[in-house]
Structure 1
């Protein structure tokens, strides 16, 4: 059996009984080395020998990138627990609802066509709907602000972590 590492770092195996064109740079390897490699035991060529090889682990920067991604996923999950109960088409109206509710509370004579039609369809007063919307908007802002602040704090901790052990204790 012969083996060769090409210019891309890929390892190729050649059996002279099967292959007619074997690169000149291929070296002889034992059946044991071949089987060790294909069974998952990584091998590295050192001179004319193949030795067990353990690739280096991820760098601290790699670990930090992964931790940032995990925290972002956890943040998005936390926000989703709030927004999953609503269709996107409704979420898209929240800023309009809040603006009209605030305008109505400031001046009950304000033109609030969205709230008026919504209140009529729900069978409640515009005043009651405006109160509900302002209350829910405040609760949403508090929840999102808290989650966002937590994510930003954890991101800062990740950036400042001097070791992988310090990263391991940073959790959502």
Structure 2
């Protein structure tokens, strides 16, 4: 990591505040005294490292930690927050990839791949209804699209570099 002071500084401040509020017994903090807040703190530290220290490789793990923590904190508590776990996690990875691309100009393909996957997972029912896949012969193909993901992944792993 470049500029080693940002990440540990944010971690120490975040954990110190977390445990200080926990020990003080502050009533408004009690619902937030969870592992999700710890993930948000770690994600914030990575994001700080990524943006303040110009370490673009820290942006993706930072947004993943921050986003996963925020998602698991809000799911079931806010009526409008989607409860489709896998779709939301793929969307968070996609947004993190787009943020890293914005800073480093790498990973645009992966960002779009995760975005398409998240949209398919989040809006599966609407997409299936729109195309009428449940009533047609396409339902067989629609059921086995994860196998297509495996095949594409194997292709990328086994493809020879030119």
What range describes the TM-score normalised by the shorter chain of this pair?
Answer: under 0.3
Q: TM-score, normalised by structure 2?
A: 0.23
Considering only CA atoms, is the larger Rg found in Structure 1 or Structure 2? 1
Q: TM-score, normalised by structure 1?
A: 0.22
Between Structure 1 and Structure 2, the one with more strand by share is 1
> Larger relative CO (CA 8 A, sep 6+): 1 or 2?
1
